[in-house]
Structure 1
Amino acid sequence: MAPQGSLNTDNKPTLAPVVSLARGVEAPDTLRLTTALQTTLDLEQLLRIFSETVQDIVPHQGLTYRNDERRFVLAVGHTGRHHCSYRLNLLGSELGEVAMSRSKRFSEQDLAQIEYVLCALVYPLRNALHYRDALDAAHRDPLTGVGNRAALEDHLRREVTLARRHHQPLSLLVIDIDWFKQVNDRYGHAIGDAVLRAVAHVTQEGLRGDDLLFRFGGEEFVVLLRATPADGAAIVAERIRATIEAASCTCDGKDIKVTVSVGVATLREETGDSLFDRADHALYQAKQQGRNRVQSAQ
C-alpha cells in the first residue's frame, strides 16, 4: 500500500493543523510535537524529533524526506513494506516530500492522523530549509559553485576522523592553474573568472560522487578523495591533469589553453593540516619541475 497526497497550508500565521479530520477520528494532541519541533533548526534532527514524537500517534518504522529541488534525501529508521507519502507546500513554495513506512498496512484513520500531524511540521521544516540554505551559501564559492575554504576546513577535520575510525585511506589533491596571472594580465579578470569556472567544472566532472571539491583561494583547488589510497589518488590526479590539458576554454571568441599542476598526499598518522601541507609541498615540487605535472608527497 502506498497512498500519496499533497498537503498545502494557507497564509495564516499559525502552526495549528489545517487538515479537518473525518467524523469519528480523534484529533491527536500536537502540543508536545509543536513544542519539540521548535528546539532545532538542524534538518536531520528536526526529522528525527518528528518521527520519534509521532510514534505514539502513528507507529512506524521509518521516515524519509526527499527534496528534489535541493537534491538530497534524508532517512530516519528503516524502510517498511507499506508506506504513505505527502508533498508539502507552504504559500506556493514546495517544501519536499515526507514518507512514512512500516510493515503493517496504514488504516484510513492512520492516514488522517498523519496528515494532521504533518501540518505541525510545515513551518519548522520551512525554517530548517532556510537555515540549511544559509549554511550552504556561507560554505560555497560564489564564482565556481564548489565548496570554499571554510567548507574545506570543516570537511577535512571530519574526513580525517572518519578515515581513522573506519580504518580507510584518505587522500588529498592540491591543484593549481599554471601561469594563471598571465591569463589575467593578457585577457582580463572576466576571462580569468571564466577559466576558474571551467577548471572547477572539468575537475568536478572527473570525480566520483563521494569525492569533494573546494576552491582554496585564487587559482588553487583542493580535492578530498575518500577511501582512496596513494596509487589511486595519483591516477585520479593524472586523469584530472590530462583532461584539463586536453580541454579548452572559449571565452569571447578566444580559445584559451590551460594546464594545471597537482600535489598528492595520503593520510598518515597526522593531522588534516599536516596532510594538506604535504600535498601543498608536493605541488610546489611539481611547479619547480616544470608545471603541468602530478607530484606525490614522500
Structure 2
Amino acid sequence: MNSVSQADTPRLTLVSSVAQPIHQPVEETIDAVRFLQAMTLSLDLDEVLETLNGFLRELVDHSGWEYRHAEYSCVFNGGIPDRHRLEYALTLNGQEMGTLKLMRGRRFSESDQMRIESLLGLAAQSLRNALRFFRASQQLERDPLTGLGNRRAFDMQGSQWLADSVRHRHPIALMVMDLDRFKGVNDTYGHPVGDQLLRAVANTLTSVTRAADLCVRMGGDEFVVLLPGTDLSAAMECAERIRQAVSRECVMIPTGETVTTSVSIGVAAHRHGMDLDQLYHQADDALYAAKRAGTNRVLAGAGNPSLQTK
C-alpha cells in the first residue's frame, strides 16, 4: 500500500480483456480530513473496507471490489464483478496487508490509478489497525487445542450467519456432536492421548465439511458445525459422512496400541422464529436421543423424528 516512502509503493497489475478507449474522468478530489475521519470510525475490517470502497467509488466509479488476506484466511467483496480489473498487493513498512481488486466495465486510466494509489496511502494506517483488531478477534475466537472456532466464535459468527440466512430466506442447519465414551479414553490412556484424538476429530470435521461451514469445539469432546445454505436432508448426509470418517480415525500410542472412537450427532434445521440458542438446543436434544438409542449414530431434531442413520 502507498505510504510516504517510495519503498512502500504498491505492486500493481492491470488486467484488461478487451482494449477500449480510455475515458478521461472528470477531475475530482477527496477531502482528506473527511476521509480519515470516516476511516477511523470503526476497527471492524468489513466496515473499514466498505468505507474505503465508498470513497474509491467517488473517485473512479468502480462497479465491484474484492479484498483477500491469505494469512488471515479472509475474503470480503462487494458490488458487481466486471471485465477490467486493477489489483493491488498492499504492504506497509514491509508488512503484507492483503490484496485489493477493483473492477469496472471500462479500463482504468493512469489518472484513475494515481487517484486510487493516493487514497490507499491515506488508508494505510486505518487498514493496518483494522487488520490487527481482526487478528486479535480471530485469536479470541479460536480453540487453542484443535484450531477450530470456540464458543465465542459460535455465539458471534453463528448469530450473524443465522440473521443473514433469515434475511435472505436461505436454509441453515446445525449439528451438535460428542465422542462416545471419551471419558474412558482419558481414564485409560491419559489426557495427552485424549487430546490427540480430539485434534484428529477436528481435522476430520474440517476435511469433510465445506470452507463456508463453521466448525467449533464447544468444550471437552463436544463439537458443533453450522451449515449455511443447507436444509435438513443435506445436513443429515453431511453428518453421516462425519460419523463414518470419525469411526476410521485412530491414534497410535507408544505401546503400539491404536485408540479409536465413534461419534453421536444430533441435527436440526432452522425453522421460522427460532434463534441460535433454540436451534442449538434442538440439535442437542437430538444428540442425547442418539446417545440413548445406542450411540454412533445420527438423529434429527424434533419435527423430523424418523430421520436417523447408523
Q: TM-score range with shorter-chain normalisation?
A: 0.7 to 0.9
Supply the distance in 2 between the matched residues of 1:26 and 1:241 (Cα, whole angstroms).
59
Query: Among 150, 153, 156, which residue is 1:151 paired with?
Result: 153
Deviation of 1:272 (Å): 2.5
Q: Give the match for residue 219 of structure 2.
A: 217
Provide closer, same or farther for how the CA distance between residues 27 and 147 of structure 1 changes in structure 2, counting only shifts above 3 A: same
Going from structure 1 to structure 2, the CA distance change for 1:9 and 1:179 (only over 3 Å counts) comes to farther
Is the 2:3–2:124 contact (alpha carbons within 8 Å) kept by the matching residues of 1? no
CA contact (8 A) 1:173 1:224 kept: yes
* C-alpha distance in 1 between matches for 2:42 and 2:136: 15
- In the TM superposition, residue 157 of structure 1 has moved relative to its aligned partner by 2.7
One-letter identity of the residue aligned with 1:184: N
Judging changes above 3 Å, is the alpha-carbon distance between structure 1 residues 53 and 163 closer, same or farther for their aligned structure 2 residues?
Answer: closer
Q: In 2, Cα distance between the equivalents of 1:57 and 1:166?
A: 31
Partner of 1:164: 166
| Unpaired segments ≥5 residues, structure 1 | 1-5, 20-24
Quick check: 1:51 aligned with 2:37?
A: no
Equivalent residue of 1:175, what SS? Answer: strand
Partner residue, 2:265: 262
TM-score norm. by structure 2 comes to: 0.82
User: Are 2:86 and 2:103, in contact at CA under 8 Å, matched by a contact in 1?
Assistant: yes
Counterpart in the other structure of 1:204: 206
Aligned AA (2:279) = L
SS at match of 1:225: strand
> Could you report, residue by residue, the CA deviation over 1:142-197 in whole angstroms, capped at 9, with x for unpaired residues?
11111111221223333433343333332221111111111111221111111111
After superposing the two structures, state which structure 1 stretch, 227-236 or 173-182, moved more: 227-236
Whole-Å Cα distance in 2 between the matches of residues 119 and 146 of structure 1? 35
Q: Provide the secondary structure at the position in 1 that maps to 2:174.
A: strand
For residue 132 of structure 2, what is the aligned residue in structure 1? 130
- Residue type of the alignment partner of 1:295: L
Q: Which residue of 1 aligns with 2:24?
A: none
C-alpha contact 1:47 1:76 (8 A) present in aligned 2: no
Which aligned pairs between 1:75-90 and structure 2 lie closer than 5 A?
A: 75-90=77-92
The RMSD of aligned alpha carbons is 2.7
Q: Distance in 2 between matches of 1:227 and 1:51?
A: 28
Superposed counterparts of 1:1-298, under 5 Å: 7=2, 10=5, 30-252=32-254, 253-269=256-272, 270-298=274-302
**How far 1:8 moved relative to its partner?**
6.1
Conserved 8 A contact 1:9-1:89:
no
Sequence identity (%): 39
Residue aligning to 2:20: none
Relative to structure 1, the CA distance from residue 109 to residue 292 in structure 2 (aligned partners, 3 Å threshold; closer, same or farther) is same
Cα distance in structure 1, aligned partners of 2:96 and 2:184: 46
Secondary structure in 1 matching 2:60: coil
